[in-house]
Structure 1
Amino acid sequence: MGSKKTCLAVLIVVLAVFSSTNFMVPVLLSSLRDLSLDAELFTCLSSGLSPLFGWHLGCHHHRHRHKHPDDSQRTVSICDNFPPDIPPPETNTTVTLCVDRNGCCNFTTVQAAVDAAGNFSQKRTVIWINSGIYYEKVTILRTRPNITFQGQGYLSTAIAWNGTASSSGGTFYSGSVQVFSNNFMARNISFMNIAPIPNPGDVGGQAVAIRISGDQASFWGCGFFGAQDTLHDDRGRHYFRDCYIQGSIDFIFGDARSLYENCQLISIAAPVPPGQKVINGAVTAHGRASKDENTGFAFMNASIGGTGRIWLGRAWRPFSRVVFAFTTMTDIIAPEGWNDFNDATRDQTIFYGEYNCSGAGANMSLRAPYVQRLNDTQALPFLNISFIDGDQWL
């Protein structure tokens, strides 16, 4: 498509994600400048984004080669400052593959590096991903276990796509990244779905940033950006630490057994005028379907903030199980706290508990009658990595 049409398309998806939170925009704008965009497109993007968020890029952009100011005979490559020790040599336990969109190492796309990992390899394949936004859909098949995504900071490295339930054949298939293998790990990277933010009740607007369907996955210092159904914590045992998770409706959902420690949970649901009791979001929608399933979400030392008037969770399936412990909650949490998916028969089977939480949203005096104020004994199984058998694999 022409530069102006491309510019408009990019602006639309960028604004869809960053209309409510813009702290990653400087990174995005810097990333755009590093791409090999034609001058008309870059000028359009920078002029369209910079006034909105208060940053100025200027109208020039990087070329792969340019003249050195002090030596007209010397050419300088964009790769000159690339870390000299990346990728490190292969060892008996690890092999490192390198991804850089400017072509400074083995691969320019994340999917190409994933495809190069060995089938059922017993070594850990570390995919080192340089700073930038990698606009692609990435799938890790179950035949490729023991993969690590190593980014350069969740505000610097991101994988983004714009799939929706409508465009992908269902919510479960809309993920920008889909992980079906075991022993996946991610550090210092963001997963984004930049599809337009749907209104509550919209059909087909669900848009997953990542789907995690393998066992023993862990995420350290990662970001998850989307709106409805951001993080599909599908199945298996998973661990999240020091992560930033953003969304609006059911933005952490699935039937996994997962522990979230020291994570920020940020609602981008539309602000609700004072005095109105409308609900326009929910943090969790856990999908435990029977009492025999050992699944659930446990949140330790989390913080919940942002906008809207939301629930901590709603019972997607009848035996939904979620616990919040030592969590700070702002007043965006509705007084009743939780929802049984408007099915009173689930009140006897769901397990929703709170333990030693604080903040204006943690007042339990008006909580729904099925919500449990946990005592020390009830809370203990959810308070450490033993909840996910982490002492065996983490």
Structure 2
Amino acid sequence: MRMLNFFVLVVMIMLLPGAAVSYGQNWTVGGGGMRRVEDEYLKWIRHMGSFKHSLFQNTKNKFKPCLTLRVSKKPKPGGFRSVQKAINSLPLINRCRVVIHVAAGIYREKVEIPAMMSYIWVEGEGAEKTVIEWSDTADHMGDNGRPIGTFGSATFAVNSPFFIARNITFKNKARAPPSGALGKQAVAFRITGDAAAFISCRFIGAQDTLYDHLGRHYFKDCYIEGSVDFVFGDGLSIYEGCHLHAITDSYGALTAQKRNSLLEETGFSFLNCKVSGSGALYLGRAWGSFSRVVFAYTFMDKIITPTGWYNWGDKNRELTVFYGQYRCSGPGADYGGRVSWSRELTEPEANPFVSLDFIGAKEWLPKRTHLAIKSPPH
């Protein structure tokens, strides 16, 4: 409500005769003279960081396994040859933590976890050694004779809450398409469920690699590779200590966050990450009118375009997106050439985005991840 009240306040002042508005760093408005509303804006920032606004409350996770299933290329009695077969052996409504241990190997299969099958933990024997791969693209025809679309192209899709993956690679082997190609979105992983954690995983693809679709998600020490919009969706997520690697030979974009409303409580926060690769890369494109992405303490190689961000061909989005960076480093982090509608955050503005409270982590992450996110030495 506080966020809504602030928005209404700004709109009312804008309608006053002679009102003047500036959408810069401090958001000032005036009516009969300039009037600063930075305090109200900072209250909103703190409110967003507290996660008391969340639709997901009283969330309870489970970590003690009740069952361990084993997947292997050469399974022993009671084991499985594929991850999907292991999943299919479980009750549709799952109420306890199930660990699916996947032995080293390349598993060529398409996997989907249904919405009611909560508490699944997929554990590999190292991301370099354990790989799940497929090669669907959005224009691939499904059983109904229609294209499966971006949503259906995922190699591995999770629709249920409380999912965990660790030490495993999810890969879409579809070839990187030429710039502007239609129907070639090829998702390696789609996460639609709430309260999901990914530790030391690899996501390999080209266009639309990681579909951070819906819910709260935590990515720790992961590697994500792609060309265009290779982290995209409308999730509320923190990426901590991740390596983001571009493989485009022309223009590409790292993120495409799809927040479409001022009241939508979503966004991506990248903390202590590294951005490298080839081509010329935007930090993000405004897929949603209120798209929200922040990079903090992140190393950016020279591949980052000086402007940094793209408005998706709609200048109106420049007034509503929230794009920022805070104490980033590297040749691509120079803020001097950035578009005027992005911002170099102040410490109070950045604080909510560099805390695990941004995703309400204490409610659902394993305790060993309940660490304050540390910034590098100044």
TM range (shorter): 0.7 to 0.9
Deviations 1:63-102 (A, max 9, x none): xxxxxxxxxxxxxxxxxxxxxxxxxxxx974210000012
Q: Which amino acid aligns with 2:197?
A: S
What is aligned with 1:102? 74
Equivalence for 1:219: 198
1:189 pairs with 2:168: yes
**Alignment partner of 2:232 out of 253, 266, 289:** 253
Residue of structure 1 aligned with 2:92, choices 94, 116, 119: 119
1:304 corresponds to which residue? Answer: 275
Match of 1:146 among 115, 119, 139: 119
1:367 is the counterpart of 2:351: no
Partner amino acid, structure 1, of 2:128: L
Q: CA deviation at 1:351?
A: 0.3
- Report whether the alignment pairs 1:201 with 2:180: yes
Cα distance in 2 between the residues matched to 1:366 and 1:342: 19
Aligned counterpart for 1:166 among listed residues 128, 131, 139:
139
Q: How is 1:314-333 mapped onto 2 (pairs within 5 angstroms)?
A: 314-333=285-304
Amino acid at match of 2:166: R
Q: Is the 8 A contact 2:216 2:359 kept in 1?
A: yes
Q: In the alignment, residue 120 of structure 1 is paired with which amino acid?
A: I
Aligned equivalents of 1:92 and 1:125: distance in 2? 9
2:49 maps to none
The equivalent of 1:347 in structure 2 is 318
What is the TM-score of this pair, normalised by structure 1?
A: 0.74
Higher relative contact order (CA 8 A, sep 6+): 2
Match of residue 129 from structure 1: 102
2:258 is matched with: 287
SS at 2:139's partner residue? helix
- Please identify runs of 4+ aligned residues in structure 1 that moved more than 3 A: none
Q: 1:369 to 1:188 in 2, by over 3 A?
A: same
How far, CA to CA, are the matches of 1:92 and 1:250 in structure 2? Answer: 36
- 1:144-171 deviations in Å (ceiling 9; x for gaps): 1000000011100011000000005211
- 1:103: Cα distance to partner? 2.3
Give the whole-Å Cα distance in 2 for the aligned partners of 1:317 and 1:392.
Answer: 28
Correspondences of 1:256-267 after superposition (within 5 Å): 256-267=235-246
- Partner Cα distance (1:177, 1:318) in 2: 28
Would you say how many aligned residue pairs link Structure 1 and Structure 2? 296
Q: Please say if residues 97 and 119 of structure 2, whose CA atoms lie closer than 8 Å, have aligned partners that are also in contact.
A: yes
1:268-283 superposed matches below 5 A: 268-270=247-249, 280-283=251-254
TM-score, reference length from structure 2 = 0.77
Identical positions, percent: 46
2:157 counterpart SS class:
strand
How many Å apart are 1:120 and its aligned residue? 2.5
State the partner residue of 1:51: none
Q: Following the alignment from structure 1 to structure 2, what is the Cα–Cα distance between the partners of residues 282 and 246?
A: 11
Distance 2:89 2:221 in 1: 30
- Give 1:230's aligned residue: 209
3-state SS in 2 of match to 1:224: strand
Q: Give the match's secondary structure for 1:284.
A: strand
Cα distance in 1, alignment partners of residues 233 and 128 from structure 2: 26
Unaligned runs of 5+ in 1: 1-90, 273-279
Taking the aligned partners of 1:256 and 1:120, their CA distance within structure 2 comes to 24
